[in-house]
Structure formats: C-alpha cells, structure tokens
C-alpha cells in the first residue's frame, strides 16, 4: 500500500497484520525479506474512527439546530396568523357594531324628509266601493254561470252516453237471444228430420245365415204380431232415449249460454265501472287543472290590476300621495283616529244615549 493512498481522507485504511512468513524468503531463519521489510516500514497506519465520530456529532448538532429553527419558525408563523385573525375579527366586530348603531339611530331618528304633493280644492268625490264590488260581482257571477253551464252540459253528455251504451247493450243481448232461438229452432228441425228419416227408411235386419237351409232366406215374411210389437217397443224406447239426449243437449247448451251471458254481463259491468272510474278521474284531474288555472288567472289579473292602478296613480301625481304618506302613521296625534277613518264612530246608530250616565240603551 502506497503512502499517497494511505493519506486519503475519504477512504478508510485497512492495515493487514504482518505475516509471519514471506513468500520471497527462501532462507531459513529470516521472517521477512528486504522488500517486505521496506514495505512494512513505509506503511503508516491511519485511524479515522475519531474523525468520523466528530463529523457525525457535528452533523447531529447541525440537524438538531435546523429542526429547532424550523419549529421556532412554524410557531412564529402560527402566532402571526393568530394575531392577523384576531385583528380581522376585531375589525369585523367593530364594523358590525357601527352598522348596528347606525341602523338603530336611523330607526329611532325622526324623519325630516317631506314629499311634494298638491291639494285639490275642487277634487271630485271618490266613487264608492259598491260600484267596483258590483262589477266584480257581475264578473264572478258570469264565471259561476259559465261553470254551471259547462257542468250541466257535461252531465247531459255523460247521461246520453250512458243511455246510448245501455241501448247498445240491450240491442246486442236481443240479437244474441234471437240468434240463439234461431239456432235452437234449426237444431230441432234437423233432429226431427233425422228421426223421421230413420223411422221411414229403417232397413230390415239380415236373416241369420244357415247352411243348406230348406226354407228361403230372402223374401220370407216374418212380420209376426209379436215381432212387430217388439219392434215398436224398441223404436219407442229409442225415440224416448233420443228425446232425452236432445233435451240434455239443449239443457247443457242453455246452461252454457246462460253462463257465457252471465260472464259477459259481469265483464261488461266491470268494464263499465272501470270506464266510469276513469271518466271520474279524468274529470277530477281536469277540474283540478281548471281550478288551478282559474286561480292563477285570477291572481295574475289581480296583480296586473294592482300594477296598473299603482302605475296610473304614480303617473297622475308628481310625488307620493297624501294617502301613501299616511300609510306609515297608525293614529292621528290630535284626534286619535286612524288615517283611513272616514267619519266612522264606535257609537251604535240604533242606540240611545242617556245624558249624565255611561249607559247606552
């Protein structure tokens, strides 16, 4: 290891312990050769542990001082922020107090302003309220009459539709009844023709086959009274069975038709009730819509009339009218009456005052 490398401050020098034996020595009794001896003498050991420890202590001290400075700066900033907020709050509170005092002074201060107005000596008399009320009454009566007329017309239309529906249902039921009777008559005629044909064109039974019969097989007269009577009994029995079967079929068909008719009537009644409920709901919704529209129209008209009246009053007077000036006064300081009192009195007109007493009879 060279001396220059040993004096480097950034590298930690690791010095190996001297070997007891040298590879260059071939002589017995000598531990180091000349080269190893010179190298061992030139290798000066340098220990940097204390220097590194001092450097680490200096770095720790610097870091601690930096952290302390940082904490101190954050505390100072927080205190400055609190002082700023406190100052702003004080200014806001002072402003609010000033505004409140100004509002209170303005509210309690006596008004010194005056409005220019004109007094007309020959001003025409104000028309009574009854004229305008009569006009409003006529308009309202007209609206009520129109509403009643529409309701009556709608009721008549509904009654006409109900009667028309009943007539149509009666006609359909009559047509179904007539069709049922025609079908029944046709079935009766068909069964009657079939039974007549069976009775008239009934074929004779084939005689029993017998081998080598001495008597003739075909053309033999075997219509004895007993056989004829038996055939008549059998035909009568068959006729009664067929009549019973036809009656059963007719009864089943009638029951089926009645059941179908009852179901159809129930279905028609259900549909009619649903239709009525639907019409009632539709009428109620239309009525509510109309009422809402009428209320909105009335409110809009009232607002419009108020605006027009205010506009006409504003245009007719150069300033605020005396009536408007009197709106902010509740009582007259001299007589104690209300400003809108036009000669009214709290004494009954039909009463008689007894002088010298406090009784009103």
Q: How far is CA 289 from CA 286, 295, 304, 343, in A?
A: 5, 10, 22, 46
Predicted pLDDT at 36:
74
The helix (H) or strand (E) run that includes residue 246 is helix 225-316
Q: How far apart are CA 36 and CA 18, in angstroms?
A: 9
Beta bridge partners of 360: 353
Predicted pLDDT at 116:
59
- Read off the tokens for 256: 């089926």
Three-class DSSP category at 353: strand
Please report, to the nearest 10 degrees, the dihedral formed by the alpha carbons of residues 30, 36, 38, 41 taken in order.
-100
Predicted pLDDT at 60:
92
- Rounded to 5°, angle at Cα 146 from 142 and 147: 115
User: How many Cβ atoms sit within 10 Å of the Cβ of residue 327?
Assistant: 11
- Rounded to 5°, angle at Cα 182 from 178 and 187: 150
Q: Is pLDDT larger for residue 293 or for residue 209?
A: 293
CB under 8 A, 24+ apart: contacts of 11-20: 12/48, 13/45, 13/46, 13/48, 15/43, 15/45
Q: How far apart are CA 135 and CA 273, in angstroms?
A: 44
- Read off the tokens for 196: 């007549």
Q: Tell me 186's DSSP state.
A: H
Least confident segment among 31-35, 68-72, 157-161, 223-227: 31-35
Q: What is the per-residue pLDDT across 276-311, written as a single tens digit (0 to 9) for each? A: 999 999 999 999 999 999 999 999 999 999 988 888
Place of tokens 């000596």: 121
- Read off the tokens for 241: 């069975």
Q: Is pLDDT larger for residue 255 or for residue 315?
A: 255
Q: How far apart are CA 34 and CA 39, in angstroms?
A: 9
Say which residues have a Cβ less than 8 Å from residue 207's Cβ, sequence separation at least 6.
217, 218, 220, 222
Q: Is pLDDT larger for residue 342 or for residue 7?
A: 342
Predicted pLDDT at 20:
46
Q: How far apart are CA 40 and CA 48, in angstroms?
A: 20
pLDDT category at 331 given cuts 50, 70, 90 is confident
Q: What is the per-residue pLDDT across 48-72, written as a single tens digit (0 to 9) for each? A: 888 889 999 999 999 999 999 999 9
Predicted pLDDT at 327:
72
Predicted pLDDT at 81:
92
Average pLDDT over residues 337-349: 67
Average pLDDT over residues 158-180: 91
Place of tokens 């104000």: 126
- Rounded to 5°, angle at Cα 96 from 91 and 98: 95
Q: What is the per-residue pLDDT across 2-24, written as a single tens digit (0 to 9) for each? A: 444 434 444 444 444 444 455 55
What percentage of residues in the chain have a pLDDT greater than 90?
A: 24
Average pLDDT over residues 32-45: 73
Least confident segment among 65-74, 100-109, 333-342: 333-342
What percentage of residues in the chain have a pLDDT greater than 70?
A: 72
Average pLDDT over residues 133-153: 90
- Rounded to 5°, angle at Cα 193 from 191 and 198: 95
- Read off the tokens for 289: 């819509």
- Please answer whether residues 217 and 207 qualify as being in contact, where contact means their C-beta atoms are separated by less than 8 angstroms: yes
* Residues across the chain: 361
Average pLDDT over residues 104-116: 73
Q: What is the per-residue pLDDT across 224-281, written as a single tens digit (0 to 9) for each? A: 778 888 888 888 888 888 888 889 999 999 999 899 889 988 998 999 999 999 999 9
Phi, psi of 178 (to 5 degrees): -65, -40
Three-class DSSP category at 349: coil
Return the axis-axis angle of helices 129-200 and 225-316, rounded to nearest 10°. Answer: 170
Q: Is the dihedral of CA 267, 273, 275, 278 positive or negative?
A: negative
């Amino acid at each position: 290891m060279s001396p220059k490398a040993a004096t480097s401050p950034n590298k930690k020098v690791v010095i190996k312990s001297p070997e007891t034996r040298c590879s260059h020595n071939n002589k017995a009794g000598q531990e180091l050769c000349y080269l190893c001896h010179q190298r061992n003498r030139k290798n000066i050991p340098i220990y940097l542990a204390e220097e590194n420890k001092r450097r680490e202590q200096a770095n720790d001290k610097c870091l601690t001082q930096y952290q302390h400075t940082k904490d101190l700066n954050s505390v100072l900033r927080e205190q400055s922020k609190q002082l700023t907020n406190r100052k702003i709050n004080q200014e806001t509170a002072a402003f609010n107090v000033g505004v409140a005092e100004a509002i209170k002074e303005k509210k309690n201060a006596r008004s010194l302003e005056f409005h220019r107005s004109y007094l007309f000596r020959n001003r025409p008399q104000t028309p009574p309220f009854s004229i305008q009320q009569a006009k409003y009454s006529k308009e309202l009566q007209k609206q009520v009459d129109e509403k009643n007329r529409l309701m009556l017309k709608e009721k008549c239309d509904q009654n006409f539709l109900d009667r028309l529906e009943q007539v149509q249902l009666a006609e359909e039921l009559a047509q179904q009844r007539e069709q049922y009777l025609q079908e029944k008559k046709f079935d009766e005629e068909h069964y009657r023709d079939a039974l007549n044909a069976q009775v008239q064109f009934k074929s004779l039974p084939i005689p029993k086959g017998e081998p080598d019969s001495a008597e003739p097989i075909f053309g033999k007269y075997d219509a004895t009274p007993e056989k004829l009577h038996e055939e008549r009994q059998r035909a009568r029995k068959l006729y009664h069975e067929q009549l019973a079967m036809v009656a059963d079929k007719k009864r089943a068909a009638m029951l089926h038709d009645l059941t179908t008719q009852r179901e159809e009537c129930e279905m028609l009644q259900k549909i009619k009730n649903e239709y009525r409920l639907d019409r009632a709901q539709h009428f109620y919704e239309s009525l509510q819509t109309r009422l809402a529209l009428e209320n909105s129209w009335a409110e809009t008209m009232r607002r419009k009339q108020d605006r027009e009246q205010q506009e006409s009053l504003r245009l007719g007077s150069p300033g605020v009218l005396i009536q408007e000036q009197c709106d902010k006064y509740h009582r007259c300081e001299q007589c104690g009456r209300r400003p809108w009192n036009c000669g009214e009195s709290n004494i009954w007109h039909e009463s008689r005052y007894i002088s010298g007493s406090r009784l009103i009879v």
